[in-house]
Amino acid sequence: MTLSRRRFLRLSALAGGACALGQLPDHVLNVTGMIAPAHGAEPIKIGIIDPLSSPYKTSSIHDVHGATVAMELFNKRGGVLGRQVTIIEADDASNPQTGIKATTKLIKEDRVDFLMGTFNGDVALAVSDLAKQENKLFMATCPHIPELTGAKCNAQTFVFMPNARMMSRAVAPHLIKAFGTRCAMITADTVDGRSALQAMTEALKAEGGEVVSEGLTPFGTTDFTAALTEAKAAKPNVVILNLYGWDLVNALKGYAKVELAKEKIGVGGMIGGEQIGRPLGYANNAGIWGLIWDPKIATESSKRFIQAVVDKYNHTPTSRCYLGYAAMTQILEAVGRAGTTETRAVIKALEGAEFDGLKTGRSYFRASDHQHVQDVLVGQAYGKELGLGHYQIMATIPGDTVAGSREQSACRL
């Protein structure tokens, strides 16, 4: 592109004034060469949908915390395309109908530019369908069901979380090696639980594991004594917990109460993290788990993220904080690359984009299905202080080795 002398001087003045104020925006020019809008322009609105009143509520607020930290960092640098960014929160209560109602309000009344968030798989699928109908980009931060980037994928939806197959393929070899091949399963009777059950079963069998017991528990179960006692009767080497949120916290409390460790029966599962370890306390945390992110990751960007969360919220970030922060960052960086908030342009800016995912390996959105391909960590929980966090990192598994091939995916964008 060729700039006229008048245009060159105009842009130089704009950049010089911003530098003098220490507020040069990340993107003075967009890809079309137009000048970024003034700061008085309408803010870029991000609608965050999360289960803020459900058994996932304690960790879900961390998704909002992470996104808020990212938003504020962008705003301090002048926003995106000269526009400030604002977040509008919505509670889906882990219910698809509530999620649709909340998302409809975000789109129709609040007139958000983008959607992000959700945790429950059935809510995420409902929001994804609505995003497609309304042509709104939806960044699913926390659901892990493979269908979102598989048979039920759509062009408007991107998934930041490693899916259940990725997590299970990473952790299963370590569970088998540490504990043995006889595996009992306790699974939440939900879309997410069944997704984890299928993925873990496939991954364990691929490693020579045998599922000797399966038990389903209602979402929101507080007493797992009966389920754990039934699992123990099958004489497993390890109990796999396909649970999350307070369900997982309460199941691990039950594991300690029933004293399965004394019987040399291990415990573990697809997903753990600081959001589980903290409510448990160090003494009750146990097992081997797949981890999305961990505060021991020593990259410079990870350290900056940790410090930013500590400065604002006075706590070390959890993996849910990570997901909110990193997903928000990628939405806003894509807007900057696209030079517009128009949905199709931002989708194109995200597809195939490689970025700093705050981990040691590659992070990128696979263009064929919009899955974020990334490192998956495997960690062992300890009943004592380990500096930053509750887990000792056993392995870092590159995303390309567990994500599966394009040919194996049912997604057809």
CATH of the domain at 392: 3.40.50.2300
Domain that holds residue 265: 165-291+377-408
Residue 400 lies in a domain: yes
370 shares a domain with 315: yes
223 shares a domain with 200: yes
132 shares a domain with 34: yes
pLDDT at 158: 98
pLDDT at 278: 82
384 shares a domain with 244: yes
What confidence tens digit (pLDDT) does each residue in 80-127 have? 999 999 999 999 999 999 999 999 999 999 999 999 999 999 999 999
Position 89: which residue type? Answer: E
315 shares a domain with 226: no
401 shares a domain with 341: no
171 shares a domain with 156: no
Task: For residues 391 and 393, give the distance between their C-alpha atoms in angstroms, rounded to a whole number.
Answer: 6
List all residues 6 or more positions away from 25 whose beta carbon is below 8 Å from its beta carbon.
18, 36, 77, 78, 79, 80, 81, 82
pTM (two decimals)? 0.89
pLDDT at 310: 95
395 shares a domain with 302: no
- pLDDT lower than 50: segments of the chain: 1-39
pLDDT at 58: 65
Strand order in the sheet with 138-140: 85-91, 44-50, 114-117, 138-140, 157-159
125 shares a domain with 9: yes
Task: For residues 123 and 140, give the distance between their C-alpha atoms in angstroms, rounded to a whole number.
Answer: 10
Residue 112 lies in a domain: yes
Closest CA to 353 of 336, 340, 341, 376: 336
Residue 413 lies in a domain: no
Residue 402 lies in a domain: yes
Closest CA to 325 of 301, 296, 299, 349: 301
Position 264: which residue type? Answer: K
Q: Which strand (E) or helix (H) includes residue 257?
A: helix 245-258
